[in-house]
């Protein structure tokens, strides 16, 4: 299964997570997952808490570990 297939399968199964809380950590400088994708992931069937990281890309735990921990603790 390629990455696109895997991501598609997660999106198709999103209803399974509808009654669970969610925290989305999103690096706004990620070249693959842009803001448009974030808006899609925030959409129903559930609302999610979102922490956006303006100066970071995909490797948030490496780029801004303190901010990631802070977001996890405050959620």
- Whole-prediction pTM value? 0.73
Please compute the mean of the pLDDT values over residues 14-33 and round it to a whole number: 86
Three-state secondary structure string covering 46-65: CCCEEEEECCCCCCHHHHCH
Are the C-beta atoms of residues 36 and 9 closer than 8 Å to each other? no
What is the rounded CA–CA span in Å between residue 59 and residue 57? 6
pLDDT digits over 30-75, tens only?
A: 988 888 888 887 776 567 889 999 999 999 999 999 999 999 999 8
């Amino acid at each position: 299964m390629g990455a696109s297939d895997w991501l598609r399968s997660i999106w198709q199964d999103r209803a399974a997570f509808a009654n669970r809380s969610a925290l989305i950590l999103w690096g706004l400088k990620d070249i693959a997952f842009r803001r448009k994708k974030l808006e899609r992931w925030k959409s129903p069937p559930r609302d999610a808490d979102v922490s956006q990281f303006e100066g970071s890309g995909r490797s948030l735990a490496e780029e801004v570990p303190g901010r990631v921990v802070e977001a996890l603790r405050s959620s």
